[in-house]
């Protein structure tokens, strides 16, 4: 905190989660004077609470080429930085509890295979060969061998450290109060510690991005959604893969289940609340995890893994992710001087390094990034 803010920069990145850290690192590596501002602690919001699965399986068929490139970037980064963030190419199983959901899995598999991937539909016995403790009453499972995980805290720290080596000036506990305008052009930010002028501002603050945009009357359709996690005490190696749920005809409840074991030995369980209205300002509070979630999570874990019925749960926590109306990132130019990389729908880790390259190209005027998959002006209300 003793270091003074610079008066000017080429790029100011607002938000110090995985996406903001990745963008700042990339713009600095590409020769731009970069300042990274975080309102609280780096990686302290949803990034640090993520289970950080990197994969292509059951995301979006149209997006598969991007996801493949994004996942390859993480593997390359792990090799470049000496695996400083526990990159683990574990593969991913998605369980199917009801016969009627097999057809959904088969459609996903067909689409992904057409794109050159190799997911499989497994019987319960075949799934158990991949994950020996998965002995619960599943009907089938899908298997995607290329999925991976990283340690979310270490990944954010690695991006920050590598960014600083490239010249990033990073400031925690420095909230952005408003954007600065000169006519229709964004010219900088006002922070709690002073103003910074910049050629480009990048909003990468998850659900807080919309709040910063509102300081100049700009509507960004990103809302907060509650995500919640559960962690056990440390255990010997038990679960080898990422365990998720196949999309269900019954709704959202199974599609967001994710179970895995961290390198530390903790069993981690993640889900999000079913779609509902999030109270204004909820993302700024420390919220209690609903007891129903804890009970349901333990019931799901012990149904799938009966041998883990007697493990002890250590903690639970809530964070808020930013989501758009179509569950796709907004990434690119919002207006002159203002870029955005937010609205991750809880999957920001997978895309972070790809989006960083996209935003850096836009900041260097190599591309406008408005016509691609993440075009931020696809919703009514944005300014050209």
CA distances from 288 to 50, 185, 246 (A): 17, 41, 28
Render pLDDT for 183-206 as a digit per residue (tens, 0 to 9): 999 999 999 899 999 999 999 999
> By residue range, what is the domain housing residue 128?
92-145+223-321
Residues 84 and 122 in one domain: no
Structure tokens at 286: 């420390």
Residues 106 and 180 in one domain: no
Residues 51 and 84 in one domain: yes
Residues 26 and 134 in one domain: no
Q: What is the CATH number of the domain that holds 113?
A: 3.30.9.10
pLDDT lower than 50: segments of the chain: 1, 251-255, 382-384
**pLDDT score, position 272:** 61
Residues 130 and 48 in one domain: no
What total of structural domains would you count in the chain?
Answer: 2
Residues 58 and 102 in one domain: no
Residues 139 and 13 in one domain: no
Under 8 Å CB-to-CB from 368, ≥6 apart: which residues? Answer: 332, 333, 362
Residues 185 and 307 in one domain: no
Residues 290 and 371 in one domain: no
Residues 129 and 178 in one domain: no
DSSP β-ladder status, 194-203 and 185-191 = antiparallel
**pLDDT score, position 206:** 93
Residues 227 and 249 in one domain: yes
DSSP β-ladder status, 266-272 and 223-234 = antiparallel
Chain-centre distance for alpha carbon 187:
28
Average pLDDT over the chain, rounded to an integer: 90
Distance CA 381, CA 384 (A): 10
Q: Is the CB of residue 177 less than 8 Å from the CB of residue 192?
A: yes
Residues 139 and 265 in one domain: yes
Q: What is the CATH number of the domain that holds 368?
A: 3.50.50.60
State which of 273, 297, 321 marks the end of a domain.
321
State which of 268, 287, 321 marks the end of a domain.
321
State which of 267, 295, 321 marks the end of a domain.
321
């Amino acid at each position: 905190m003793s270091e003074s803010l610079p008066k000017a920069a080429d790029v100011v990145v607002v938000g110090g989660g995985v996406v903001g850290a990745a963008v700042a690192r990339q713009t600095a590596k590409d020769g731009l004077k970069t300042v990274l501002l975080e309102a609280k602690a780096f990686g302290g919001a949803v990034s640090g609470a993520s289970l950080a699965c990197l994969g292509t399986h059951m995301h979006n068929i149209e997006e598969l080429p991007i996801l493949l490139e994004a996942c390859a970037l993480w593997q390359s980064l792990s090799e470049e930085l000496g695996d400083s963030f526990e990159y683990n190419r574990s593969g991913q199983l998605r369980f199917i509890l009801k016969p009627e959901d097999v057809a959904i899995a088969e459609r996903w598999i067909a689409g992904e295979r057409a794109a050159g991937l190799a997911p499989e539909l497994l019987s319960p016995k075949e799934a158990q060969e991949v994950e020996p403790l998965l002995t619960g009453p599943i009907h089938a499972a899908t298997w995607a061998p290329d999925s991976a995980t990283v340690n979310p805290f270490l990944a954010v720290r690695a991006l920050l450290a590598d960014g600083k080596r490239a010249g990033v000036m990073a400031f925690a506990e420095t909230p952005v109060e408003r954007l600065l305008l000169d006519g229709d052009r964004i010219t900088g930010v006002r922070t709690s510690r002073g103003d910074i002028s910049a050629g480009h501002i990048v909003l990468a603050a998850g659900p807080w991005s919309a709040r910063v945009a509102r300081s100049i009357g700009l509507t960004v359709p990103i809302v907060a959604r509650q995500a919640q996690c559960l962690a056990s005490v440390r255990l010997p190696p038990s679960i080898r893969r990422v365990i998720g749920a196949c999309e269900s005809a019954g709704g959202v409840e199974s599609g967001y289940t994710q179970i895995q074991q961290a390198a530390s030995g903790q069993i981690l369980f993640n889900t999000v609340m079913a779609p509902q209205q999030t109270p204004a300002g909820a993302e700024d509070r420390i919220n209690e995890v609903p007891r129903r979630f804890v009970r349901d999570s333990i019931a799901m874990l012990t149904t799938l893994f009966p041998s883990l019925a007697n493990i002890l749960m250590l903690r639970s926590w809530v964070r808020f992710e930013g989501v758009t109306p179509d569950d796709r990132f907004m990434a690119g130019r919002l207006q002159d001087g203002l870029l955005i990389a937010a609205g991750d729908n809880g999957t920001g880790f997978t895309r972070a390094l790809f989006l960083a390259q996209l935003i850096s190209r836009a900041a260097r005027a190599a591309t406008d990034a408005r016509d691609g998959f993440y075009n931020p002006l696809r919703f009514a209300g944005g300014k050209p």
